[in-house]
Structures are given as C-alpha cells and as structure tokens.
Amino acid sequence: MEFKDHILNLAAKKLAGEASGDELKELSDLLKNNPALANALNGIEDWWQSSLEAERDNSAALFNNIRNKINSNQQNVTRFDWQPAGRSSQINLSMIKNYVKVAWRNLAVNKAFSFINISGLAVGMALAMLTGLWVWDEYSVDGFHKNGKYLYQVYERKTHDGIAEAGYLTQAPLAEELKKQVPEVLYASGLEQNHPVTFEAANKVLKMDGSYAGADFFKMFSYKLLEGRPESALNKPGSLAISRKMAEAFYGSAADAIGKTIRFENKDNLTITAVFENLPANSSQQFDFLKGWQDFTSENAWAATWESSSPYTFVQLRADANPVVVGAKIKAFIQQFKADEQGAKSELLLQPYTKRYLHSLFKNGQLDGGRIAYVQLFNIVAIAILLIACVNFMNLATARSVKRAKEVGVRKAIGAARASLVKQFLSEALLVTFIGALLSLVIVVALLPAFNGISGKQISLPYNQPLFWLTLLGLVVITGAVAGSYPALFLSALNPVRTLKAGYKIKPSAAYFRKALVIFQFAMSLILIVSAVVISRQMDFVQSKNLGYDRENLVYIPLEGELIKKYELFKDEAGSLPGIQAVTKMKESPTVIGHTKGDISWPGKAPGNSSFSDAMVDYDFVKTMKLELLDGRDFSKQFADSANYLINEAAAKKIGYSKPVGKPLAMGSRAGKIIGLLKDFHFNSMHQSIEPLVIRLADNQKWGTILLRVKAGDTKRVLTSLESICKELNPDFTFSYQFSDDEYAKLYKSEQVVNKLSNYFAVIAIFISCLGLLGLAIFTAEQRTREIGIRKILGAGVQSLFTLMLSDFLLPVVFALFVAAPIAWYFMSGWLQGFVYHTTIQWWMFALPGGLMILIAAVTVSFQSIKAALVNPVKSLKSE
C-alpha cells in the first residue's frame, strides 16, 4: 500500500469510529509532516462532525477524490471545494435511461426473485383494479340524474313506547299533498313497488316488470324519452310508458309503439304515451313499464287513505330551497291527516336520493349503513392485499441486501450520492410495479367475466376514459413507492467503509423487521380467512334456520288474468293432482310481507302506535305453509271468518293478550275476533326482527300469489300438470312459477356475493403471502449454507436441520394468529350485528384457519429447507 493511501485509510477509520489508539497516534504523527494533506483532512473532519447522518456517506467519495489528486501529483490539496450531493444534481433523460437499464439487468440476473415480486404485485394490483372497478360502479349508481342534487326520498319514522322504527314505505296520497302544501317542493311523485304483469299486443303475450308512478316522475328523473314528453307521459288515466326493450318486443321499434293500445292483464286497454330508453345498469330503479298514478289509486281503495303504507315517495326541491328548512317543515306533516295517538309519534324525513342506494338500512329509527359497508370492506381488503404484495417486495429486497451491499459500497466509493442510490432502487421498484401492472391488466381482462358473474354487475374496463389511465398510473406510482421506499432507504444508508472493508452482515434489527413484515402479511391473510369462515357460517345459518314454515317444495304461481276469477276452479283442479298436498293464495308472498296497517284497534288499547304488518290470505293458508298453530284454528268455510283474524306471537305481545283466541280485534271498520295464534315465523330478511302480523281473509284481491305445497319428489310431474291447467284456464298468460327457497335466497344476494368474494380474497392473500415466504426460504437457505455445513460436520442430522429452518418461518405465522384473532373477532362481531338473527363466533373459527395457514406455510418452505439440509457439507464449505 502506498504511503498516501495508508494515510487516507487511517483517516477513514478515524471518521468511521473504527481506528484504535495506536492508529490514531500514527495518523497524527504522519500528518505533522504533511501539512497540506492535514489541512484538507481537517476540513473534511469538521464537516463530518457537523453534517447530517444522511450526508456522511459521501466521505468515501471525498477520500477517493483526494486520493486521485495525490496520485496525479497534484500538490495543492489544501483547497478542497466540496458541495453536498443533491444540490446541483439534475435528473435528465440519460440518468433515467441508466436507472431503467440497471434495474432491468438486476431483474434479469435474479429471475426467481423477480418472478415472485412481479407475480405477487400483479395479482395484488389485479385484485385492487377489480375491486376498484366494483367500488367505482357502486358509487356511480343513480349518479346520472341531472337533478340529482335536488332529489330526495321521503321516509317515515315512527316512535312508540320509546321504540323508534323507520322505513321507506309511505302513504299513497303523500306526494301530491307535499307538492300542494310545501312551496319548496318543485315536483313530487309516488312509486309503487315492482310487480310482474302480462301484456298482450300484436298477437304477442309477454310478462314484464313494472309499476305505477306519478305524473312528475319523468320530469324529476333523467330517464331519456325516445318518444313522448315528460309532462304528458303519465298525466292521464290509462297512460303507459314503456321501455325500448318492451317496445321492440311488441312493435319492433319505439316509433311504431307510441300511441298504440296494449292489453294489460287481459282486463284493461292502455295507451302507450311514452317510450323511454332502457334503464342503465347503474340505476337502482329497474322497470320495463310505468302506469299512471291515477290508475293506482282507482285500482286500490286503500291508496286513498292515510292508514296504509306501501309506495315510495320522491320529491325534487327548488334550486334555492334549503333541505334543512324543508325537512323541518315536513317533519310533522302527516299529523294533519293522521293524528298521533298518545305516546306515539310519526315523522317524515328526507334523504338525498343519490345516497339511498348505499345507505338504506335503518336501526333504531336512524339511517345506519347499508351497501356502503360492503364498499368500505372491499376497499380495505383490496388495500390489505396490495400491501401484502408490497411487503413481499420489501422483504425480499432487504433480505438480498447482503448481496447488494458491495454494490452499494463500490457505488459510494466512486462518488454516488445517497439520493442517486435512492432513485436507483426506487426505479427498480417502479419497473417491477410497471411490469406487474401490465400483467395485472391481462389478469383483469381474463377474470372480468367471472367477476361480473359473481358480483351480478356489468363492469367493463373503461379504456376510453382518461381518468382510468390516470388512476392506474397513480396506482403504479403509489405501489412502487410503497414497495420500494424502505429497501431504497435501507440499502442507500449502508456504510461504504464497512461494506468494502469486511463485507456486510445483516443486523438483528433488520431481521426482526422482516419477521414483523411476515407477521403483518399472515395476520392480514388470517383476518381474511376468519372473516370468510364467519360469513360462510352465517350464510349456512340463514339457509338452515327454521323459519317457522317449510320453504321446501313450496311453489309460487302469480295470480293474474283469468286465474283471478277462476281461482276456485284452479284450486279444485290443482288440489286433485296426486302430488299436490295443499293450495292457498295471499296478496304478497311469504318471503316478504311489506304492507302495513295503522288502523288496528282492540278494547282497552293502550296509547301508542298501532302499526302492524298485514297479510291477506285464503283458506288452507296454515296447512299450505305448514305453520305451527299454537292455539285456535285456521280460516274455514264452515265458519263466518270474513272479519276474523290470525295473529302471530309478536302481535299478541304488542296487543297485550296472553290468551288472544276469541278476543275482539278490528282493522278499521272491519270488526271481528282472533281465531288463531301462530308461532312467530320469518316473513322478511333476518336483518329484521319478526314484526307483529295480522292475517285476514282476502277479499276480491286483483293480484297476488298462489301457493302450492308439493309432495317431495313429484315436483317435475306436478309442474307439467299445473302448466296444462293454467293454459286451459288462463290461455292468454304464459305459465310461470317460482320456488320459495329461490325467492328466499334473493333476500341475501349481497351477502352471498360477499361470501364468494371473501373466499377468493382469502385464497389470493394466502397465495401472495406464501410467495413471499418461498422467496425468503430460498434466500435464507442460500445465506445459511456455511452454517448448515458446519452443523452437519458437528453431527446435526437432516431432521434437526429441517426443524431448525422450519421453526424460523413458522414462529412468525403462529404469532400472526394471535395478532389476527382479536382483530377478526372485533370486525366480524360488528358485521353479525347487522343481523337480528345470527350465528355465534366460536373458537374453532380461529383455530381451523390458523392450523391451515401453518400447514400451508410449512409446505411452502419445506422443499427449500429439506434441500438445504441435504447438501453435502464439504461441498457447501468449499463453495463458501
């Protein structure tokens, strides 16, 4: 070593804190004879002591500059002009090109780690994109209405006996009265719930879904009219607005349909006054036709009263109206038509229409979430899985720091600043992320049809929208920055003197940090798995719970056309079929009874709200439904039961009858007595408690549902026979039917989607986590080659070595279980609270996923562990 280099090495050790006492004394003596060099080194030492830690790594570059000057016989080294790195450096095209070139070479050299990083990021980003598209679609629902910011839905809150309840069902006359009496209301419209009905025209008979709406409906909502005008579409009796699909089905085109007469339910002739464009998929309202509101009130006598609630009510406020002021005005609006009883109160409130789709659940009389909970859940899951993929990159990059330590040392020694190294490592992360993003697009295109099938959406990649590409670019940049930030800062901080002097060894703190990242990965995965198990158990609970009636082998047939008049004949002929056990009918269906009555009275009635769910049925209802009759009897033709009632336990409790059979009860002017007490049964979703229910005999109902109890195993033969009977009695209507269990499943459509997606999310999270674990296992096996060789020479067997390596990876996974368990329990307990009736969270729901995760992790690292343990120690030590 040359004399001058020896002085510089001693100076480097001094600044690094590694010089011994003898070396410090030697350096002092040498500098006494070299004043010029002493002045230069004193300047560097002063800067070193006062500079930031981040700037000290440039010392190697400074020493190198001095060395070059000395070797070039430049005597004047006392004047040393140093400028901190980064102040004058500029990123230019050549630098970027160099960063990309170096990054690509590193990817090509380390193919296994590149594959693990890219595939993990690609899968994570694909999931994030799919979830983002779903969330985007959810937020877009009902966002296309031009008057959206002025549209509101009216809902009613009822308080009685200290209990508050709320819902969207309102009184039929409400819309018209609000428009008359509230100046801030520009337009108002009612909207009855959809029903499938039959139309006949041009020698075609088709069944369509639709409803009734007010005259202002098309002036409020931005449903494009192809024919007709918004102000006259529904303003007269007998008016009908139909969709393009319906117009083309009957007449071939919208233009040919306008003004035509069409037969409705084989009883009324309607005039087509408007044709609207098919409703977009992101509309929460879906219908093929709308009839005028005047027809609705004339066909339903109860719609003229304020005691019954069934339709929805929408209002459009004036542009200068204050929603808060309007809300205060209408709060007690209903009391002028229906006085509150003592101890009870009914209030009207407004909800922005654009928020209704995502916020539609009520709890204790207040809006309390809805689909927004699933939107937030999917956002969290997508971010969590993307973070798991980023953690893979962090873990593998920092684990490989041993191999790249000398590279960093050499770069710093020849003048590379820390900022340039950070940029280099971030460019590698961005390149990996960019490749992953391209691959993720391919994955999204391939999986989108299946994803749409599961979610029930019609999502497509919005290639033509700049916002999509900007969002994707942002996703790439953010993911690359998150994944590459820690490795870039970690590697760029390596001390060049130490790395070049004696190699680099990973500090225990770095190893602990990597284990913490592994714990984070598997904790997130375990949370997803536990959540999937709980959701699946709740769906099983919903499907298997005793509803209070037998939904198996129960068939629904719509009561329509000639069947309305010939129902008794149909019942006789159907009842005589060998496979039919019982036949009845009801106004709605057993799956959902949404109609309520507020005019229920009885002797000694205490002050309070008298709102009850109301069902209209036929004889043999209890028999057909297989309900449990606790006391009394079913409706019978042997008695005069036209004004008598069946009630459930909840109704008896509300009324206050301990033995209700034989006690008087009245619905409006219809006074009778209770003839039977039914055990509570579910007639709504399990999100809701069983409401008080009053059941009465149907009287001249013009639509409804025929219920048939079919003998198990005879369904196919019975349906064929029923079709023949319906064609004979009701030839103008297409035979259609539904199964009760299918209708029941529709109540939990959203939950079923979440159930399926949560299973897929959990599998993806496990896959990405195990990819990272595999990468760490490969690297650890390479790094511990020498240790394993020495252990084998000292007598360690393959089994002990395998156990040693396996335990290093499984302990973080076990620890992750204890981290994940309370978090999963907290979130899933909250989710289950959305169901009034739900399963319980049990210990095995944590133990089973935990054991499965440990098994998968063990299988993942076992191959590499066994491979490392079987290596010949002589060969491994020789290579070391």
Q: What is the mean pLDDT of residues 437-460?
A: 88
Rounded to two decimals, what is the model's pTM?
Answer: 0.72
What pLDDT, on a 0 to 100 scale, did the predictor assign at position 683?
84
| Confidence class for position 433, pLDDT limits 50, 70, 90 | confident
Maximum distance among all Cα pairs of the chain, rounded to whole angstroms: 129
Residue 690 phi, psi (nearest 5) = -70, 120
Q: Has residue 432 got a pLDDT over 60?
A: yes
**DSSP annotation string for 635-684:** --TTS--TT-EEEEHHHHHHHT-SS-TT-EEEETTEEEEEEEEEPP---S
What pLDDT, on a 0 to 100 scale, did the predictor assign at position 237?
92
582 class by beta-carbon count within 10 Å (0-12 exposed, 13-18 middle, 19+ buried) = buried
Partners of 206 in the β-ladder: 199
DSSP state for residue 622 in the 8-state scheme:
H
**pLDDT > 70: what percent of the chain?**
78
Partners of 789 in the β-ladder: none
d(CA 466, CA 879): 55
| Confidence class for position 627, pLDDT limits 50, 70, 90 | very high
What type of residue is 687? H
Q: What is the mean pLDDT of residues 277-282?
A: 92
List, in sequence order, every beta strand (DSSP E) within 376-499. Answer: none
d(CA 593, CA 311): 13
d(CA 246, CA 265): 15
d(CA 69, CA 879): 40
Q: Has residue 57 got a pLDDT over 70?
A: no
- By the 8 A CB rule, do 554 and 681 touch? no
726: left (phi over 0), alpha (psi -120 to 50) or beta: alpha
d(CA 837, CA 542): 8
Nearest-10 Cα torsion for 329, 330, 336, 339: -120
| Confidence class for position 413, pLDDT limits 50, 70, 90 | low
What is the C-alpha R_g of the chain?
Answer: 38
d(CA 781, CA 787): 10
d(CA 658, CA 359): 39
Within a 13 Å sphere around the CA of 454, how many CA atoms are in the beta-carbon half?
A: 19
Tokens representing 482? 């998150």
Which residues, 6+ apart, have CB-to-CB distance to 674 below 8 Å? 632, 644, 645, 646, 647, 657, 660, 661, 662, 663, 664, 665
User: Residue 11: in which H helix or E strand, if any?
Assistant: helix 3-16
Question: Three-state SS for 164?
Answer: strand
Helix/strand/coil percent split, the chain, to 5 = 55, 15, 30
Tokens representing 321? 């109206």
Residue 239's alpha-carbon distances to 182, 234, 263, in angstroms, are: 27, 5, 12
pLDDT, greater one: 800 or 356: 356
Tens digit of each residue's pLDDT (9 = 90 or more) over 752-766: 888 888 888 888 888
717: left (phi over 0), alpha (psi -120 to 50) or beta: alpha
What pLDDT, on a 0 to 100 scale, did the predictor assign at position 398?
67
Tokens representing 479? 């993911």
Question: Three-state SS for 733?
Answer: coil
Tens digit of each residue's pLDDT (9 = 90 or more) over 706-739: 999 999 888 889 999 999 999 999 887 888 888 8
d(CA 428, CA 385): 21
d(CA 525, CA 854): 12
- By the 8 A CB rule, do 710 and 582 touch? no
What pLDDT, on a 0 to 100 scale, did the predictor assign at position 1?
41
d(CA 127, CA 760): 10
pLDDT, greater one: 696 or 506: 696
What pLDDT, on a 0 to 100 scale, did the predictor assign at position 92?
54
DSSP state for residue 277 in the 8-state scheme:
P
Tokens representing 821? 């368990």
pLDDT, greater one: 409 or 661: 661
Q: Which of 397, 486, 474 has its CA nearest to residue 434? A: 474
580 class by beta-carbon count within 10 Å (0-12 exposed, 13-18 middle, 19+ buried) = buried
- Which of these ranges, 420-424, 628-632, 861-865, has the smallest mean pLDDT? 861-865
What pLDDT, on a 0 to 100 scale, did the predictor assign at position 625?
92
Tens digit of each residue's pLDDT (9 = 90 or more) over 516-539: 878 888 888 888 888 888 988 888
Q: Which of 588, 581, 585 has its CA nearest to residue 553? A: 581
pLDDT, greater one: 5 or 813: 813
What pLDDT, on a 0 to 100 scale, did the predictor assign at position 407?
67
To the nearest whole number, what is the mean pLDDT of the chain? Answer: 81
d(CA 409, CA 496): 4
Residue 173's alpha-carbon distances to 70, 167, 195, 232, 298, in angstroms, are: 99, 17, 20, 20, 12
Tens digit of each residue's pLDDT (9 = 90 or more) over 736-754: 888 888 888 878 887 888 8
H-type alpha helices, 784-797: 785-793
What type of residue is 78? T
Tokens representing 263? 């037969």
Partners of 189 in the β-ladder: 314
What pLDDT, on a 0 to 100 scale, did the predictor assign at position 80?
35
Residue 797's alpha-carbon distances to 802, 808, 809, in angstroms, are: 9, 17, 19
Q: Has residue 361 got a pLDDT over 50?
A: yes
- By the 8 A CB rule, do 457 and 280 touch? no
Question: Three-state SS for 308?
Answer: strand
Q: Has residue 142 got a pLDDT over 70?
A: yes
Within a 13 Å sphere around the CA of 691, how many CA atoms are in the beta-carbon half?
A: 22
Nearest-10 Cα torsion for 742, 745, 749, 755: -120
* Distance between start and end Cα atoms, the chain: 27
What pLDDT, on a 0 to 100 scale, did the predictor assign at position 194?
78
- By the 8 A CB rule, do 776 and 514 touch? yes
Q: Which of 612, 812, 773 has its CA nearest to residue 693? A: 612
| Total count of residues recorded for the chain | 880
Highest-scoring range by mean pLDDT, 44-48, 51-55, 264-268: 264-268
d(CA 622, CA 209): 30
